[in-house]
Amino acid sequence: MRRRPTDAQRQARAACWISCTLALVSLLLSGPVAHAVAGDAARGERAFQRCYSCHSVDPKDAAKLQGPNLFQIVGRPAGAASGFDYSDAMREKAAAGLTWDAATLDRYIADPEAVVPGTRMSVPPLRDEQERADLIAYLARPDANRR
Amino acid sequence: MRRLLAFAAVLAVLSGAAGAQDQKYYDLAKGDYPHDVAAGPSGEVWFAGQKAGIAGRLDPASGQIDRIPLGKNSAPHGVIVGPDGAPWFTDGGQNAIVRVDPATKEVKVWPLPPERMPYTNLNTAAFDGRGRIWFTGQNGIYGRLDPKSGDMQVWDAPKGRGAYGITGTPKGDIWFVSLAGNYLANVDLESGAATVYEPPTKDQGARRVWSDSRGRLWVSEWNSGNVSVYDPSAKSWKQWKLPGEKPRTYAVWVDPDDKIWLTEWTANAVVRFDPDTETFESFPSDRPNANVRQLLGRKGEAWIAESGTERIRLIRYASKTN
């Protein structure tokens, strides 16, 4: 025989439901989450066309491009590409400990100014979460960085 | 050293000489991110709202701004006003050339052929003397669209990626520069073949280009911090370093008086160069990190897109032309 819940139990359940809902809404509003979507490195190579004019992933590429070489970028501290002349804005973020983990890269690709105000990087917004995940998967794949 | 100090003093006097009464800033909606700007024939000013995917139309008199969506995934980089008086956009997000009818606001889209390159990173455009629009794509292409027939041709740029600014001369010729390729190029208007002209400074980073009234090509050099000029009739180059420590010259526009307007990122300023006196005049922004990627204007008015502050800036200047 099931007992009817007391008023206190009903209030506790309602409080739990509200707090869980708020937590979910907060999560959804907190911006892109890199691991929410699994990336496909093969598709990411195609997505890299968005970056290609300013970045290389070939460590031997000697071309003087507008962006730093992205070889092994995932997990690397910001502003660490040897010999690249970073903006003051990026230097300041680097000094503050910015690191290109997957989640930070995801936010940066979605809106560079939001992560590094004053950055020189200007890129059409990559709004598609899946495409960003694919791109990061490509950048994280060791063999993709040795074309 | 004495010479340097004297030069610095002159520059300081000239800095901001236009005066606050000769300048105006227009705030845009947050997220519009004006990349390029162009002055229209009826006094209106158009801007490419890259992050918002819109064509912006500013009425300078009233300050009213119309925002016209250009399409799904739109992210316009460049805008120019064509001989038809309409704004034409190079839309990287749609990988297309886009025209907005200034009267009806109708949007017409000409996509690039996707089989060649699905994403070309379209940069800027210019009209030739035959009513055709030429464009560059930073991933290493340039192309031509005939709006009447819809015929579009796309070619590989010399040295691959980097094709950036493009301009038409008074005669109707087309020239473009390559930021990663470090060159200026002239195209054959029919065959599309590009002839490369290397500026004297190695790895200079030729970013944008504009023609003066005599058909000389003025180039803003990002890496070297120079402004350089190529004279096709004399086949000669000349260049000047912008003032200050480690200048970064981004954009160039030549006004109807043949004075050279540039944007310089280290000083966060618009800089005007007088080729006759070989002197620079600086107009710093009133806010940091203005990040001006392009400027364009008309007689007596320089219009400036501040991508970093999301504002359009106007500098009025005394023009000698009638």
Strand partners, B183: B178
Residues of A with CB under 8 A from a CB of B: 46, 49-50, 52-54, 63-66, 89, 111, 113, 117-118, 120, 122, 124-125, 127
The larger pLDDT score, comparing residue B275 to residue A26, is at B275
Q: What is the average pLDDT value for chain A, to the nearest integer? A: 80
Four-point Cα dihedral B110, B114, B115, B117, nearest 10: 120
pLDDT above 90 as % of chain B: 90
Give residue B251's pLDDT: 98
Instruction: State whether B180 and A65 contact (CB < 8 Å).
Output: yes
pLDDT bin (cut points 50, 70, 90) of residue A5 is low
Instruction: State whether B121 and A118 contact (CB < 8 Å).
Output: no
pLDDT tens-digit series, residues A51-110:
999 999 998 887 789 999 999 999 999 999 988 999 999 999 999 999 999 999 999 999
Give residue A128's pLDDT: 92
Give residue B116's pLDDT: 73
pLDDT tens-digit series, residues B107-146:
999 999 987 778 999 999 999 999 999 999 999 999 999 9
pLDDT above 70 as % of chain B: 93
Give residue B13's pLDDT: 37
Q: Is B161 on the interface with A (CB under 8 A)?
A: yes
Q: State the DSSP code for A61.
A: -
The larger pLDDT score, comparing residue B225 to residue A145, is at B225
How far apart, in whole angstroms, are the C-alpha atoms of residue B79 and residue B97?
10
Q: Is residue B198 predicted with pLDDT exceeding 90?
A: yes
Mean pLDDT of B258-276: 97
Exposure string of A77-111, with b = 16+ CB inside 10 Å and e = fewer, is ebbebeeeebbebbebbbeeebebebeebbbbbbb
Q: Is B274 on the interface with A (CB under 8 A)?
A: no
Strand partners, B107: B100
Give residue B10's pLDDT: 41
Among B98, B121, B136, B201, the strongest candidate for a mutation testing the A interface, having the largest count of A CBs within 10 A, is B121
How far apart, in whole angstroms, are the C-alpha atoms of residue B33 and residue A11?
48
ipTM over 0.85: no
